[in-house]
Structure formats: C-alpha cells, structure tokens
Structure 1
C-alpha cells in the first residue's frame, strides 16, 4: 500500500511540475531575443512603424525585438510563417489589413493560414492614412484633374502597390470602381520598391500608406492627390481627404498591430501588450510616428480583434461587389 501511495505521489508531483512549467516560463519571459516578422519588404510603412515601436519595446522588456522582413504575396508569405511559429512568445508578427483581411478575400482557396483563428491579437500599434499620389510629371495638379486625365486615357497609366492582393492593390481596385477609370496594376514586393519606382517615373501613380511616402511627398518627389483619413494632415494642409472630394467609401485608413501565434500563454500576451502600450505613450515614439503621418493606438487585444474582424468583412464585401479575381 505504501508503494502504491508513493507512486501516486510521484505522479502527482510530475503532473504538477508539467502544469507549473508554462507558468514559470511566462514569469521569466523574455529570456532571450524576440523575433518579429514584418511580412513586407524593408522601407515600407509596415516596416517603419514596426521598427519605431519595437525599438522602444526592446528597451522596456530588456531583450531585443529583432525585425525580420519576409515580403511577398501581399504579406501572405510572412504571415503564414508567423502562423506556424512555436507559441512561446519568441516569434511575433505585424498584422496589416492586407494580411488579416484582404488576402482572405482575394485568395481564399490557397491561403495557408486563417487570419481569424491562427493568431492572438496583442494590440494595434498605429493607424495611418492611405494616400493616392503621382510622379510630379503627371499632368494633373489636383484630384479633380487627376480623375479627368484618367478618364480621358483608359489603360494608359499604371499604378503601383505593395503587392498583388495587398490592401493597397484593393485600394486601387476600389478607386477604379468608384471613379470609373481604367489604370493598370503593377505589383511590388512592398511599398519601399514601389515608392522608388514612382519617384523614378517607372510608374506614374502610387497607392500607398503615408509613412513610406511622406518623406518623398515633403521633398516634392511625389505629389499627393488625396488621403484616406478623418481630416486633413497638418503637414499636408493642401491635400484633401477622399471624403472631401466625394468618395467617402474610399476614406479607409490602414493599421499595423502586433500578433502572437495561437496558443501563446495569456501571461505572455499581457506582458507584450503592457510593453507596447508603454512604448506608444513615450513622447519620442509618438513624435516619430506622427512624423510619418501615423497616429498611435495601443488598444486592448479584444478591441484589436474587433478591428481585424471589421476589416475582414469589409474586404470580403469589396472583392465580392467588384467581382475581383486574383489568380
């Protein structure tokens, strides 16, 4: 009987140690560097926002958050890799409207991750305006002239985006439907290379997020036609919102947030959330984001999950109504 009792005691102690292990790991977290997958090329808005916030988070958490760019397929390649990661808090990823909404709408049959079930939202880092811009040689000085030129020249001009099936591609397609214009899509592996070609004149038009284009707009290398934002930006007072020029349905800003793979312990999610919120309250981080045209968020995981679902539904609706098929 004593031997049987001892065996039960050993089993109980073993079970307790197994249950205690995750809690102990979460309490010690982070013990080494954290990988953050940015599913787009360096130099784009996703990359810029991610680096601004994670740099401060690194200081607050005492471990480096290392940004790794995994561009391609409208962010699907990087997002799929992040979804497969071990849920231990050491591989995170940046969520965008492209990866969490548009990809599911555009390529529902070959997407290898589920944006609504394969991740745990941590927080939305920042909201940013979308912008429609042109090379300065484009023969239009304002939005009205811009649309008029496009209508007179169907198929003549091309627009760049951060990639096929990305939110900026869908933004461009929605613009075409709303304005009745015909422009040719040229996909890139991220906003960075698209901006470079727009400045160089290889493409005449660019649909972009503000952070990756703001320096070139301020320098006069690109000309903003309109922005998707609740109000005009103080740095670009002469550039109207899309609602102002009669297209409220296009006046949708973008966001960038932090995700962990499903199964990540809630204690780790909470630690990451707290660090992100503290970082987003830092005056230097706020200033750096605002210089890029971005507005800090720092909402709760539940609030960010709601934003993701709303954009997921929006993208599905736009693709269905526009009969958009992206093979």
Structure 2
C-alpha cells in the first residue's frame, strides 16, 4: 500500500537526485563576481586577478560586476538574497562582513553570518603606519613613546569611519593607553596626503596609497599592523614590537562568499578552484605587488576565521564608542 510517507520519501529522493545531477554539471554557465567597490580598488583587483585562473579550473568565466555604495552593503545584500546555486559570488573585504554588523546593527539589510557562506580567504592587507618625515620617530617603540608623551595632542587619519584602518588605530589606543584622535577621510590618498603636509600626525594606510609619498621622502613608514613584516617593506617592523603591544594585530582581508543557502559540495568546488588559483606563483606575485599577502584557508577554517574577526572588530567598535555617524 502506498502511503503519504512513501510519496514524501520518493519525492525527497527525486529532489536529491536532481540536486546531485545539477551539482555534478556545475558550472555550465558564467559565474557573477559581485564587488561592492568601484573598479581599481583592492577587492576589485583581487576579483579580476583571481578570475582568470579560476576560469581555467572551473571551465567557466567569472564576470566581475561592480555595485559600490552603502559601505559595500548593496553588493553584500545582493549576494545574500541570491539563489544558492553557485552562480553568484561576493568578493568582499573585512568591513562588510566583520565590521558592518557591529557598526550599523539594525540598519543592516542582510545577516552576514547566516546569509553569506564563506568560501575561502584570498589574502590579508596589513595597514602601514606612516608619519611625516619630519616627525622624530623611526620605530614602533619610539612612536608609542611619542604618543604617550603627547597624550591628547596627536591625530591619526584613515580612509573612513569603522573600516579596518580606523579600527587599527583605535586598537593601538586601547592597548597602548594612548589618546590619538581619529580623523576620517574619504579614501586613503587624501588621508596620507594630509599627513605628508603635517596636518595629521600619522595615518593607518594601505601600502598603495602611502608608497609614492614614502618614495618621495615625504612620509616615513614606522610600522605594519600584521604579526609579520610585509614582504614589500621588510625593513618596517610590526607595531607589536612596541612595549605593551605584544599581542597587537589588525589587518584588512579579502575573501569570497556565496549565498548562505549554497550546498556544501558547491562551496567546496568553488573553494578548490580559488585555492588552486592562489597557489600559482604568478598570481601571488601580482597580489604582492598590490600590497596583498596571499593566504589560503579551507572553507571550514575560513568560517572560523570570519567569526573570530567579527568578534574582534565588534569589541573594538564597542569599546571605542564608534558609530556609523562618527
């Protein structure tokens, strides 16, 4: 006798079979790579550089689609609400994934933890701490000593409120007991330009924005915010070498995400293609040229990494009293 239970089981098996067949032929059309920033920015560069070797691994092109605006939340929402079929990916930075939930809270239009599935980490982007060449400091220890001796008199710039550059400066204040005032700018280039002009004491900046002024002798690189030295500037020490900052670390990072409903086999397929691409020396060299340090993580490890980073960013935002309005 055929019961409703038998019919439900049969329907479930048929659905599973169709899903398996669909995944077995994945991908059979181009994949959209959505980026929440304009062309030419760090995330956009990563999406375009990794797209070609991923195409070779997947047999289909990754078509970059730039959707800037609202601190990259327009792009993140588009992917969060997209079908979980593997054909829509988000190339994201730490901000829209780990910082925005604490910064914007109820104004968020997507749930980064539930609606975006981590695929893989692509690389980390340490901040570079720069000062005017006229400032009498040359090492992380001298910088912190100078900031403590001039408490309440100094300032640091970043490319915007609540981004990793801003949080890197606030983490320094919290751990070192300094009181350096944050001055937000719309972009890293004007932020470092005003440091070179002595309008701001220091900046937590990207390598790309600061390097031309360093090469011109207008800025001096004092520290990096990563645990290790950057391969591009091996002579610049980590900020954690200053007394009291032994556990300091805060970096921006770029990764790939899919809609939260994407099945695990598709996530693994995409992660495998991305990891193969990142293993290519030619791609690693191109990323290093942009100040991006290639770093691969499995899907499981990346998920744990994202959760840890979100907790870390949220604590800094809370302790520093940072709001989206500044």
What TM-score, normalized to structure 2?
Answer: 0.81
Question: Is residue 34 of structure 2 the alignment partner of residue 41 of structure 1?
Answer: no
Cα contact 2:170–2:316 (8 A) shared by 1: no
Q: Tell me: CA distance 1:54–1:223, structure 2 relative to 1, closer, same or farther (3 Å).
A: farther
**In 1, Cα distance between equivalents of 2:84 and 2:21:** 15
Cα contact 2:116–2:259 (8 A) shared by 1: yes
Q: Tell me: CA distance 1:51–1:222, structure 2 relative to 1, closer, same or farther (3 Å).
A: farther
Deviation at 1:12, TM superposition (A): 9.0
**3-state SS of 2:239 partner:** coil
Cα RMSD (Å): 3.5
Determine the structure 2 residue equivalent to 1:311. Answer: 309
Deviation at 1:98, TM superposition (A): 1.4
Q: How many residues are paired up?
A: 316
**3-state SS of 2:107 partner:** coil
* Unpaired runs of at least 5, structure 1: none
Determine the structure 2 residue equivalent to 1:142. Answer: 138
Determine the structure 2 residue equivalent to 1:275. Answer: 273
**In 2, Cα distance between equivalents of 1:28 and 1:238:** 49
- Which residue of 135, 160, 163 maps to 1:166? 163
Cα contact 2:84–2:260 (8 A) shared by 1: yes
**In 2, Cα distance between equivalents of 1:248 and 1:64:** 44
Q: Which shifted more, 241-250 or 201-210?
A: 201-210
Q: Tell me: CA distance 1:322–1:199, structure 2 relative to 1, closer, same or farther (3 Å).
A: closer
- Which residue of 67, 73, 89 maps to 1:70? 67
Instruction: Map 1:72-91 onto structure 2 (within 5 A).
Output: 72-91=69-88
Q: Tell me: CA distance 1:48–1:222, structure 2 relative to 1, closer, same or farther (3 Å).
A: farther
Deviation at 1:76, TM superposition (A): 2.6
Q: Which shifted more, 119-128 or 246-255?
A: 246-255
**In 2, Cα distance between equivalents of 1:251 and 1:198:** 21
Determine the structure 2 residue equivalent to 1:103. Answer: 100
**In 2, Cα distance between equivalents of 1:69 and 1:138:** 40
- Which residue of 179, 188, 191 maps to 1:194? 188
Question: Is residue 223 of structure 2 the alignment partner of residue 226 of structure 1?
Answer: yes
Determine the structure 1 residue equivalent to 2:52. Answer: 55
Determine the structure 2 residue equivalent to 1:216. Answer: 212
**In 1, Cα distance between equivalents of 2:305 and 2:38:** 24
Determine the structure 1 residue equivalent to 2:123. Answer: 126
Determine the structure 1 residue equivalent to 2:293. Answer: 295
**3-state SS of 1:236 partner:** coil
**In 2, Cα distance between equivalents of 1:69 and 1:175:** 33
Deviation at 1:92, TM superposition (A): 0.6
What TM-score, normalized to structure 1?
Answer: 0.81
Residues 215-249 of structure 1 show CA distances to partners (whole Å, capped at 9, x for unaligned) of 53674475422101223234323322101133335
Deviation at 1:276, TM superposition (A): 0.8
- Which residue of 105, 114, 118 maps to 1:117? 114
**3-state SS of 2:114 partner:** coil
Q: Tell me: CA distance 1:11–1:320, structure 2 relative to 1, closer, same or farther (3 Å).
A: closer
* Unpaired runs of at least 5, structure 2: none
